[in-house]
Structure 1
Amino acid sequence: MPANPEPVTPDDLDRAVRTALDALRKVPPGAWDGDPASLDWTRWETVEHMSHALMLYAAQLGPRTPPMDGNVPFARTPRRPEAPSTVIRADPAAGPDGLLQVLESCAALLVALARVTPPDVRAYHLYGASDPEGFAAMGVVEMLLHTHDLIEGLDIAWDPPADVCARALHRLFPDAPRDTPPWRTLLWATGRTDLPDRPRPTTWRWHGTPR
């Protein structure tokens, strides 16, 4: 991994979205109501969570004066007590294709806001007030990690772009190793796998503040 990767860009987020959607379109229709091994939500609910996160990251950058003391106050509701609380609900009648269209649409909002928001803008995030690059990097991580969660165990081949992973790691996980493969390191940094001589973290968080 480069010692000092380039910044995360809106194009990086767009690539992460496209590669993730390519993998998610291979999920069997009957699997969407099932639970991924690593989550308590169904696959359908997990995609709604991803859509929610990407849309809210875009919303944080939307106001002329972005909020610095909390999230833009959209009301959130879960589908069921165990489901994630979201502002985004996909119409079940639209099926998996409609669900993924919702995800793609929410992702496009974040790509667009990351492109047009001046780099000196800051907006609230629980893990540190962030800039457009930071929110784009958060979108990359949401897309890649939850796609991993969703397809794990489904025999779907998928290899996220290493350069995008490296830039997201550098931006959000400054203490992560730099001598290991970027995608596996991103999984390790978020408690999803081990690395040689490094047991997986039991707790983790990214650093949203600009580097």
Structure 2
Amino acid sequence: MTADDLDQAVQLAVALLREAPPQAWDGKAGSLEWDCWETVEHLSDDLFSYAVQLGPRTPPLDTEVPFAWERRRPGGPANAVHADRSAGHAGLLQVLEASGALLVAMVRTTPSRIRAHHIFGASDPEGFAAMGIVETLVHTHDLAEGLGLAWTPPAALCSRTLARLFPDAPRNTDPWPTLLWATGRAELPGHARLTTWRWYGEPRR
């Protein structure tokens, strides 16, 4: 997984979300308990938090870089990143694009030998790129369901992401439905639906 892969995922997501009508952003994002605005904030926060995790010269291996995460309402996502609602959904998508660009830049410039903490395994810049891609692809799926948009990301991008983070996922099925299955969002013929899931961020080479 590369910085270019991550940039592609973010740009495709932003382009799709620009098609959403302004009045749709207060609706629920797919099966999530968050509305679409909150879900974009959460995705932006994911990308931001992965970028800053790689930021220190010697990243922590046992905890996150201690930004203050807070919920704006009970049950809402705990974020360090929040968009100014007065900027509307165009401003919200700028926040998403900017957070993605931060992670793209960190993946490009961080030496491959660096490891940083994640709850699913200390990872390298390539692993954080893959994590950012998973977050972007599946949360855009959630958003597309809530906003009434069609979303099918490139199969090759999904396939490489599965290979990097989900080593136990099937390899003989369509990559995009398989990624949705691996993240607990869909049925996959011949495989029980997952009620819990995780990825494996540790480098395997």
- TM-score (ref. length: structure 1): 0.94
**Are 1:50 and 2:35 counterparts?**
no
Deviation string 1:56-103 (CA, Å, 9 cap, x unpaired) is: 100011000111110000011111111101000100000000000000
**Are 1:158 and 2:165 counterparts?**
no
> Where does residue 22 of structure 1 map in the other structure?
15
**Are 1:114 and 2:107 counterparts?**
yes
> Where does residue 103 of structure 1 map in the other structure?
96
Q: C-alpha separation between the residues in 1 aligned to 2:28 and 2:193?
A: 22
Percent of matched pairs sharing the same residue: 63
State which of 28, 32, 49 in structure 2 corresponds to 1:35. 28
Q: C-alpha separation between the residues in 1 aligned to 2:89 and 2:180?
A: 26
Gaps of 5+ in 1: 1-7
**Are 1:194 and 2:187 counterparts?**
yes
The one-letter code of the counterpart of 1:67 is P
CA positional deviation for 1:37: 3.1
| Root-mean-square deviation over aligned CA pairs | 0.9
Q: C-alpha separation between the residues in 2 aligned to 1:23 and 1:103?
A: 13
CA positional deviation for 1:9: 0.7
> Where does residue 131 of structure 1 map in the other structure?
124
Gaps of 5+ in 2: none
> Where does residue 86 of structure 2 map in the other structure?
93
**Are 1:9 and 2:2 counterparts?**
yes
Deviates more, 1:20-29 or 1:181-190: 20-29
The one-letter code of the counterpart of 1:56 is S
Deviation string 1:127-177 (CA, Å, 9 cap, x unpaired) is: 000000000000000100000001115442222011111111001000000
State which of 135, 149, 167 in structure 2 corresponds to 1:174. 167
Q: C-alpha separation between the residues in 2 aligned to 1:22 and 1:64?
A: 34
Q: C-alpha separation between the residues in 1 aligned to 2:8 and 2:150?
A: 17
> Where does residue 4 of structure 1 map in the other structure?
none
Q: C-alpha separation between the residues in 1 aligned to 2:9 and 2:109?
A: 19
**Residue correspondences, number:** 204
Q: C-alpha separation between the residues in 1 aligned to 2:37 and 2:97?
A: 14
SS at match of 2:176: helix
> Where does residue 144 of structure 1 map in the other structure?
137
The one-letter code of the counterpart of 1:187 is L
